[in-house]
Amino acid sequence: MAKSLMVQGTASDAGKSIIVAGLCRIFKQDGLRVVPFKSQNMALNSFITKKGYEMGRAQVFQAEAAQVEPDVRMNPVLLKPTSDKKSQVIFMGEVLTDMDAIDYHEFKQELLPKIKDVYQELYNENDIVVLEGAGSPAEINLNDRDIVNMGMARLVDAPVVLVADIDKGGVFASIYGTIKLIPEEDRVRIKGVIINKFRGDVALLQSGIDMIEDLTQVPVLGVVPYAQLDIDSEDSVSLVQKSRRFNREKDLDVAVVSLKRMSNFTDFHSLEIQPDVSLRYVMKGDAIGNPDLLILPGSKNTIEDMLYIRESGLEEQLQQCLEQGTRIFGICGGYQILGKYLEDPFGVESSLKELDGLGFLDIRTTFQSTKRTTQVKAEREGQMLEGYEIHMGETILGSEMTPFSKILLENGRVTERADGAIGYGGQVQGTYLHGIFDNMAWTRMYLNEIRLDKGLEPIQEELESLETFKNKEYDKLADILRKSIDIDAIYQIMTGKSGG
């Protein structure tokens, strides 16, 4: 019979997603069929499966850790914020509608039976399902209609392990407060606590661990050390930490403009791991400076982000970058922003019918009510590329524009159409392909062009594949968890033999 375990957190960015990924790799190493599951994910980082369905990126890297193909059933509900009050509601990989928070709070109960059916399918097909919560189970204003924390745990009768982040401070208060704020019927589901992101000597923490166990009657299963692992991060909170790791001694300065509605910043993980690249995010109020490569990322609301660029003063800085010869690259919404015109005749993104873009590329984008969600294979200058598209805009190139690539396959079907555009003799490029930098051979070729522009020798040695690199990182994560968490206790919790 299959088993389940739910990982919840005391707050957002406590490390739930990473702990789930590590447990998935451990169970896989132990010879078990394991899959991740998150009933509802709110994120602007998404992925397109081989069947053309959209799902959250966190469950994708957890599936990679489990060495299984990403399946939309692992994340049946995805919420993508389109404004401060509204989100696009995606169920089983397809757009349902846009809703504000109040309407969705009422509507989501209708999804529960369907979510349970999807979960049951995965449960029947595997040995273990590792569920992930969202935020904190102690959101007492939302718990009456919860479908992702204790509401989900009750629905499928899953035991819970609580993850607490010590790096932010106040870890014992967060553990105690979370446990004591939830109802007794939910409290008894919490079978253990994991203290995450610890720096220092665990012996100094022991007295606190003893006291919190006495106060809550819940055992602490382990203390996970703070570790620098090159694994995709779902939470945008991590962008500040990524920028702090910027190393000016590396050869190439790559700057990503952190748009207000930025999506899929996971597109740049493959750049972060390049040996000669330091990647930073240009936050509100930051100066772009003089990077070697400037990237405009994807956006959930291109028009809003174009207005943000214009009103924040970034437009003038971007123009300066163009004039000084900086390489500029746009992905999806960022590609659209590089164009001359953004048209929204159906009010897909805003009440504005038309807005001027940056004008760096002679292209015109018109927003449509239908979203394109495809996994694609493309060809560029004799190299095969893979990626995925998630956009609601159709872009027309001016007569002097050269396409970035040619799409040959979409969701496994043969096709032939142009993608993206190139201008200013190759200085400015744009594409709809998310994951473009995951194509390591092409990325190295592109970075070597930039090196040559700077008078640097190209890097010739062949880099390992992204899949190989990721697997090493997942194995490192599993090793860290095995050394710091009582894994035998985790197994006992799943069989119902634990205390707590």
Q: Mention every residue, 6+ apart, whose C-beta is less than 8 A from residue 394.
A: 365, 366, 368
Handedness of CA 239, 18, 46, 388 (dihedral sign): positive
3-state secondary structure of 7: strand
Cα angle 197, 167, 282 (rounded to 5 degrees) comes to 100
CA distance 83 to 65: 32
Beta bridge partners, 77, equal 40, 91
| CA dihedral of residues 185, 187, 191, 197 (deg, nearest 10) | 150
Q: What is the per-residue pLDDT for 430?
A: 97
Contact 8, 136 (CB under 8 A): yes
Q: What is the per-residue pLDDT for 461?
A: 77
Q: What is the per-residue pLDDT for 234?
A: 58
Strands (DSSP E) contained in 318-420 are 327-331, 341-343, 354-356, 363-380, 383-397, 405-410, 413-419
Q: What is the per-residue pLDDT for 463?
A: 72
> 321, 295, 320, 292: which is closest to 454 by C-alpha?
292
Pairing between strand 40-42 and 363-380?
A: unpaired
Q: What is the per-residue pLDDT for 246?
A: 55
CA distance 176 to 179: 5
Q: What is the per-residue pLDDT for 245?
A: 53
CA distance 253 to 255: 6
CA distance 151 to 143: 8
CA distance 405 to 398: 16
CA distance 155 to 120: 11
- List of domains in the chain: 3-230+471-495 (3.40.50.300), 252-453 (3.40.50.880)
> 435, 412, 413, 449: which is closest to 325 by C-alpha?
449
Handedness of CA 91, 97, 101, 102 (dihedral sign): negative
Q: What is the per-residue pLDDT for 500?
A: 46
Cα distances from 178 to residues 67, 141, 216, in angstroms, run 33, 13, 10
Q: Mention every residue, 6+ apart, whose C-beta is less than 8 A from residue 60.
A: 47, 70, 232
Q: What is the per-residue pLDDT for 230?
A: 81
Q: Mention every residue, 6+ apart, whose C-beta is less than 8 A from residue 205.
A: 195, 198, 223
CA distance 500 to 498: 7
Backbone angles phi, psi at 243, to 5 degrees: -65, -30
| Tens-digit pLDDT string for the chain (500 aa) | 579 999 999 999 999 999 999 999 999 999 999 999 999 999 888 999 999 999 999 999 999 999 999 999 999 999 999 888 889 999 999 999 999 989 998 898 899 999 999 999 999 999 999 999 999 999 988 888 899 999 999 999 999 999 999 998 999 999 999 999 999 999 999 999 999 999 988 998 999 999 999 999 999 999 999 988 888 765 555 555 555 555 668 999 999 999 999 988 889 999 999 999 999 999 988 999 999 999 999 999 999 999 999 999 999 999 999 999 999 999 999 999 999 999 999 888 888 899 999 999 999 999 998 899 999 999 998 899 999 999 988 999 999 999 999 999 999 999 999 999 999 999 999 999 999 999 999 999 999 999 999 999 999 877 778 889 999 999 999 999 999 999 999 999 999 865 44
Beta bridge partners, 329, equal 295, 429
Token pair, residue 287, equals 């100066």
Residues annotated as part of the active site: 332, 434
Q: Mention every residue, 6+ apart, whose C-beta is less than 8 A from residue 470.
A: 61, 64, 231
Token pair, residue 344, equals 């929204």
The label of the residue with tokens 């629905």 reads 155
Beta bridge partners, 377, equal 386, 409
Rg (CA), the chain: 23
- CA 90 vs. chain centroid, Å, equals 16
Q: What is the per-residue pLDDT for 460?
A: 85
Q: What is the pTM of this model?
A: 0.88
Per-residue pLDDT of 367-379, as tens digits, reads 998 899 999 999 9
CA distance 82 to 270: 26
Token pair, residue 356, equals 């001027």
CA distance 365 to 46: 22
CA distance 9 to 27: 21
Beta bridge partners, 255, equal 280, 294
Contact 62, 36 (CB under 8 A): yes
